[in-house]
Amino acid sequence: MPSRRYRLVVFDWDGTLVDSTAAIVHAIRASAADLGLPVPSREQASHVIGLGLLDAIHRAVPSIAREQMPLYVQRYRYHYLKEDAALEAFQGVPALLDELAGAGAWLAVATGKSRAGLNRALDQMGWTGRFLTTRCADEGIPKPDPWMLRDICEELGLEAAEALMIGDTTHDLGMARAAGSDAVAVTYGAHPREELVREPALAVVDSVAELRDVLLGWIR
C-alpha cells in the first residue's frame, strides 16, 4: 500500500469503466474482413485498444495501404456504432465513481476514443459533468505518450504524483509511468494479466469490487 494519498483519479474508458472490449475487437476484425485484408486475431485486435484509432489500425492490420484507411475507418465506425448504444458500465462502476467523489477525489478520463465518441458515450451513460475534465486521443498525442495525463494535471494545478491512473492496458500503464504518476491495472478489460505485469503498477486487480477496495484507502 502506498503511503501517499491521491487527489485525482484518472480512468481509462473502454475496458476500464465500460464493457466495450468485445465490441471494439469485433469492429476491428469485421472492418478488415470487409476490405479483404488479413483479419487480426482477437488477441491482436484487443492489444491495440487504448491507442489512437489510426495507430491501432496500423498495428492490428499492418498490411493496410494508405488509400484503404478512410474506408477502413468508415467500416470500423459502422460496425462499432451498431453495438455502441447497448454498451454498459461494468457492474459496480457507477457506485464506485459516486463513492470516490463522495470521499473528495477529483475524477478525470484519459481515453483513446475520439472527442465525438467520448461525448456521445458520456451522454449515453448519463455521465456528462461527472468528471472534472477529460482528454481524448484526437486532441493531442495518444497513449502511451504522457501528454493526456500531463495536460490534465496542468489544467487542474496538480503534480503528476498527485494523480493515480486506472487502466486495463499496458498503454495506460506506460502513459502513467512516462508522466510520473502511479497506476492500478485492471484485468477484466483488453490486456491479460501477463501483459499488464510488465509495466509498474501499485496493484493489479481482477474486479471492480477489488478496485474499490484498493482505491478508497488512497484518497485524500
Q: What would the mean pLDDT of 196-211 be, rounded to a whole number? A: 96
Residue 16: CB atoms within 10 Å: 30
Name residues whose C-beta falls within 8 Å of residue 203's C-beta, 6 or more positions apart in sequence. 184, 185, 214
Active-site residue among 12, 168, 172, 182?
A: 12
Q: Is the pLDDT of residue 186 over 60?
A: yes
Architecture of domain 8-19+87-218: 3-Layer(aba) Sandwich (3.40)
Phi, psi of 128 (to 5 degrees): -60, 125
Q: Is the pLDDT of residue 220 over 70?
A: no
Strand partners, 136: 111
* 98 in active site: no
Q: What is the pLDDT of residues 45-68, one digit of tens each?
A: 999 999 999 999 999 999 999 999
Q: Is the pLDDT of residue 3 over 60?
A: no
Q: What is the pLDDT of residues 137-175, one digit of tens each?
A: 999 999 999 999 999 999 999 999 999 999 999 999 999
* 14 in active site: yes
Predicted pLDDT at 4: 64
Question: With contact defined as beta carbons under 8 Å apart, do 111 and 118 qualify?
Answer: yes
Q: Is the pLDDT of residue 2 over 80?
A: no
Cα 130–132–135 angle (5° rounding)? 105
State the pairing for strand pair 163-167/106-111: unpaired
Domain range list for the chain: 8-19+87-218, 21-84
Q: What is the pLDDT of residues 78-109, one digit of tens each?
A: 999 999 989 999 999 999 999 999 999 999 99
Q: What is the pLDDT of residues 121-147, one digit of tens each?
A: 999 999 999 999 999 999 999 999 999
